[in-house]
């Protein structure tokens, strides 16, 4: 994948895992303000007639970022960064680290020669996305809970004092199983988005490398990363909204209940709430992550071969 699809992975699984986790964490740090804006927009409900609210609190990506910074301080834009990094170490490392081995498995083993079919790339990415998020779901839950909490009235205590407190509080008050709240839509979202990201990056990169003037360089990685981010947002936005609402609000009984209530109360366009910040987030995230990953893998390869 992230190497030419015609070649076998030339670094160890441990090397790929570390490279992937590092790259995902770096991209997370750079783009989490946009993710915080996206979560706030997705959780924002339509104003009910007569409730005295004329306009929604958050309007647009930049407007949401500005509102959060003005009301809560700049640091609020990095709410959830600690569980976000926990998530990327587990989820980012596993989904990317396992992609090449599982893709090879689906192609019949290491003796396979030629371009990997797009269907095999998609199937491999769906598999690694589902496996990785099953392990990392508690980190995703805590991240969303911390991001969802806005400005509180004076003297009101915060629900959680930090990431570790959130994990322990959720287990104590809601049980261990609560850490896997929203696992259904989360598996759907992350396996779909993972397939859109990894398979499209793989495919776009493979296609570009066959065109005159393109080589395995930063420009190719940049264009492939943008393509991956765009496909991921187009395909994954509806399940992303359902996941954020289920994790941010315990009023929903199930994935279907959340989907139907969102559709009934807010209309079909609600499933693309936060589309611009989501693309700004995922587009920039993918560009940063894949550019960093390609360089990290080269660095690890040089260490392993020395």
Tens of pLDDT, residue by residue over 92-148, are 999 999 999 999 999 987 778 778 899 999 999 999 999 999 999 999 899 888 877
- The whole-model pTM stands at 0.75
Confidence of residue 51 (pLDDT cuts 50, 70, 90): low
CB 224 within 8 A of CB 201: yes
The answer to whether residue 286 is domain-embedded is no
Confidence of residue 52 (pLDDT cuts 50, 70, 90): low
CA distance 152 to 98: 42
Residue with tokens 């909204």: 241
CB 105 within 8 A of CB 3: no
- The DSSP secondary-structure symbol of 215 reads -
Question: How far apart are the two ends of the chain, measured CA to CA in Å?
Answer: 23
Confidence of residue 3 (pLDDT cuts 50, 70, 90): very low
The answer to whether residue 235 is domain-embedded is yes
Tens of pLDDT, residue by residue over 144-180, are 888 777 766 777 777 888 889 999 999 999 999 999 9
CA distance 155 to 294: 48
The answer to whether residue 183 is domain-embedded is no
CB 253 within 8 A of CB 221: no
Confidence of residue 23 (pLDDT cuts 50, 70, 90): very high
Name the packing angle between helices 118-148 and 183-194 (round to 10°): 130
CA distance 24 to 229: 14
The domain containing residue 224 runs over which residues?
192-273
Name the packing angle between helices 13-43 and 275-305 (round to 10°): 170
Total number of domains in the chain: 1
The answer to whether residue 37 is domain-embedded is no
CA distance 147 to 41: 11
The answer to whether residue 18 is domain-embedded is no
Tens of pLDDT, residue by residue over 262-300, are 899 889 888 887 677 778 778 888 999 999 999 999 999
The answer to whether residue 33 is domain-embedded is no
Q: Which two tokens stand for residue 279?
A: 């693309």
**CA dist 287 to 19, 129, 231, 281, 292, Å?**
15, 19, 13, 10, 8
The answer to whether residue 25 is domain-embedded is no
The answer to whether residue 207 is domain-embedded is yes
Residue 80: the pLDDT is 79
> What share of the chain has pLDDT > 70, as a percent?
91
């Amino acid at each position: 994948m992230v190497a030419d699809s015609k070649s076998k992975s030339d670094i160890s699984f441990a090397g790929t895992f570390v490279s992937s986790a590092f790259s995902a964490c770096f991209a997370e740090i750079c783009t989490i303000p946009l993710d915080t804006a996206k979560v706030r927009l997705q959780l924002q409900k339509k104003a009910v007639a007569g409730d005295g609210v004329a306009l929604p609190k958050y309007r647009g990506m930049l407007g949401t970022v500005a509102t959060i910074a003005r009301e809560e301080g700049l640091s609020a834009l990095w709410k959830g960064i600690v569980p976000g990094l926990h998530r990327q170490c587990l989820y980012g490392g596993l989904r990317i680290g396992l992609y090449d081995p599982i893709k090879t498995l689906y192609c019949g083993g290491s003796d396979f020669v030629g371009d990997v079919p797009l269907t095999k790339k998609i199937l491999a990415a769906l598999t690694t996305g589902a496996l990785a998020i099953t392990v990392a779901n508690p980190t995703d839950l805590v991240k969303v809970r911390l991001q969802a909490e806005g400005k509180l009235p004076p003297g009101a205590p915060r629900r959680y004092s930090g990431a570790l407190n959130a994990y322990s509080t959720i287990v104590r008050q809601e049980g261990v199983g609560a850490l896997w709240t929203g696992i259904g839509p989360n598996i759907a979202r992350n396996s779909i988005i993972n397939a859109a990201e990894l398979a499209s990056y793989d495919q776009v990169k493979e296609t570009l490398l066959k065109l005159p003037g393109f080589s395995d360089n930063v420009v190719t990685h940049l264009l492939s990363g943008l393509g991956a981010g765009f496909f991921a947002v187009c395909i994954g936005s509806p399940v992303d909204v359902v996941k954020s609402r289920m994790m941010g609000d315990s009023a929903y009984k199930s994935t279907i209940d959340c989907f139907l209530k969102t559709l009934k109360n807010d209309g079909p366009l609600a499933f693309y709430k936060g589309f611009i910040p989501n693309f700004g987030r995922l587009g920039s995230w993918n560009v940063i992550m894949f550019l960093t990953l390609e360089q990290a893998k080269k660095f690890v390869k040089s260490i392993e071969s020395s």
